[in-house]
């Protein structure tokens, strides 16, 4: 047997092939875990995007990842082929919220773990991470700081962020900048605000209109956003 034949046999060798029964059990567990992850994200997530719509992707991502790992883990040739296939993938939609990326990685991790038949480790790790998320959610729920989000859109060419900051300081106890999308002649800003009095909201709205007549804004409670 020469070296070429030995290498070809090594590339074609399949090890650790999973039976159909074990595969069905793993994929059911993966579906349950990803479904729970989606529920946790909708309930405790802080993303400004539509959390229900984003969470609906978790099951598909988890199960697809699991199927891929289950297939390629038994063959080095398939693993190398997967690397080549993924190198041509391009994501056109940017993830703007870091929290979305974190949940996406957790969803992929579930698929990786179940695809590698590491059921106990995957379930244990998932339970620990979810426990931390829930505890953090309850702690933040009792925190009264920053109970409103405001989105500001303006098409004014002379818009200046420092001037906006001074206006917020006059009417808000606390203001946290969450996101800025700066495009041609248009700026979108998302802030988290805490007001000391109910009158401050109306006063802020009036001064923002005086500051920029073209400004558009939306104010909503952060607890009710899904």
pLDDT(144) > 60: no
Q: Give the DSSP letter string of 27-84.
A: HHHHHHHHHHHHHHHHHH---SS-HHHHHTTHHHHHHHHHHHHHHHTT-HHHHHHHHH
What is the pLDDT, as a whole number, of residue 162?
78
pLDDT(10) > 70: no
Residues 63, 68, 73, 76, Cα dihedral to 10°: -170
- Whether the CB-CB separation of 178 and 192 falls below 8 Å is answered with yes
Residue spans per domain, the chain:
3-141, 148-221
pLDDT digits (tens, 9 = 90+) for 104-133: 889 989 998 888 888 999 999 999 999 998
- Predicted confidence band of residue 25 (pLDDT cuts 50, 70, 90): very high
Q: Report the sign of the C-alpha dihedral through residues 137, 130, 65, 72, in that order.
A: positive
User: Given this structure, which CATH class describes domain 148-221?
Assistant: alpha beta
Distance CA 217, CA 171 (A): 16
Stretch among 71-75, 81-85, 169-173, 210-214 having the lowest mean pLDDT = 81-85
pTM for the whole structure: 0.59
Mean pLDDT to the nearest integer, 173-185: 75
Tell me which of 2 and 57 has the higher pLDDT. Answer: 57
What is the pLDDT, as a whole number, of residue 172?
79
- Whether the CB-CB separation of 187 and 159 falls below 8 Å is answered with yes
pLDDT(90) > 60: no
Share of the chain above pLDDT 70, in %: 70
What is the pLDDT, as a whole number, of residue 76?
57
- Whether the CB-CB separation of 226 and 49 falls below 8 Å is answered with no
Mean pLDDT to the nearest integer, 22-30: 91
């Amino acid at each position: 047997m020469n070296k070429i034949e030995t290498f070809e046999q090594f590339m074609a060798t399949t090890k650790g092939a999973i039976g159909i029964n074990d595969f069905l059990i793993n994929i059911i567990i993966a579906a349950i875990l990803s479904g729970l992850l989606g529920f946790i994200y909708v309930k405790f997530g802080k993303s400004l995007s539509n959390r229900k719509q984003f969470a609906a992707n978790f099951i598909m991502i988890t199960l697809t990842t699991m199927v891929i790992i289950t297939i390629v883990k038994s063959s080095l040739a398939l693993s190398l082929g997967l690397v080549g296939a993924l190198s041509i993938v391009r994501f056109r939609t940017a993830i703007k919220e870091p929290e979305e990326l974190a949940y996406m990685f957790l969803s992929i991790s579930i698929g990786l773990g179940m695809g590698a038949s590491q059921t106990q480790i995957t379930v244990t790790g998932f339970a620990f991470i979810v426990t931390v998320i829930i505890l953090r959610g309850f702690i933040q729920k009792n925190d009264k700081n920053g109970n409103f989000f405001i989105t500001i859109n303006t098409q004014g060419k002379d818009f200046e962020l420092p001037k906006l900051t001074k206006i917020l300081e006059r009417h808000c106890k606390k203001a946290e900048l969450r996101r800025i999308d700066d495009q041609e002649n248009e700026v979108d800003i998302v802030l988290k605000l805490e007001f000391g009095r109910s009158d401050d909201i109306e006063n802020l709205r009036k001064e923002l209109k005086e500051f920029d007549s073209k400004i558009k804004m939306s104010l909503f409670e952060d607890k009710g956003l899904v």
